[in-house]
Structure 1
């Protein structure tokens, strides 16, 4: 039987990881869930570049700090504030876009051993939607992965491939020197001080406009330029999120960080 995946730290949302096993989980099912309580207090969710066109009309897209930044969809402007999920984990508006990172939970592809090359389908055993239930989608059929599990595996494989393309996008953005520390200052009417949001990175439009011809041709040909502009256009939604936070009474002191 496969051993538990060896990971130094677990990804966002995951409290534990266990490889899906025909011996141990032959009777397990995934039951339908109308709530996602694990995401309700999360204000920034990792994003893949394929999602930029869909997300840029709904949420600001920024990049995390650090040497290996990742794209993030902002679902709120402050820690613990998610404007797209309520306190029970239900979507606050019908038809709202849910990032793939959220949709793949409680499943995840992971290495069972650090030296392993292959990724195995794992799940978070602390989740309350996977287990031996009377109702739900069966994960195995006669000791073989069910059609549903094959679809789950395919979704996770596609997500991993999208993650690799996203990593390449971020490496090229860094090599071009396009990232800068972000800052957004919002002055509400009647407030004594502006609300200032930092702690994220964004593309420097000035540097983007100063790219050499060969650099510009490269990002046009490899499809990066539309993604960069999707990110830049999405930043106008910062003020929309701010307004929504004000209306819900979930505002911090004027000095804040994303």
Structure 2
């Protein structure tokens, strides 16, 4: 039996299909999170077994560590200049391929890398596919200095936005505030429903102290959705879809990397 949990199977399936888009010589943005970690492992296997030569630009220190471990050459975005492709996960996506990202607190680097790419592919399980964004808390990275004032300004803004909830909580790591790779804090906005994502994103980023929010609009080109039975669905812009299948046995050689 494949030693994969039901939660890991869709992540592996989506990741295995997504790395097929990577070609020799590409400069590839490497996302952050549990699903993206499977993608990095799958891509590392292609590097080792096929001799694929790529340059990987990680979106967090933990992704960089994993990429080096599996044999992917890691470079900075400054060294790469521009990327051919970024593959990353998402916390939610809707029919317009608008995303909520930042559950892992890396959405600032993820957005910079994704927008510096010719194409972005998102890998996800079916639970991330939503009719309307907002059930997952929206992360907002903020400067530590005066963060309480920034929090009040954010909550004041939310009072006039098309959302159902208006609470902004400081993300914690045990007894201390969670810090991003840049040393900033994260406010999680518990909105329930986001009626106008573009309007919300624009106004959030105008608040002093806000660095970046986790709404990704007009950035994702394709979503690869993996299912626990090996089925994979590709969703493109304008609702274009195709389906396929991945052999779960392919995960056996990756278990040692866990």
Q: TM-score range by the shorter chain?
A: under 0.3
**TM-score scaled to structure 1, two decimals?**
0.24
TM-score normalised by L of structure 2: 0.24
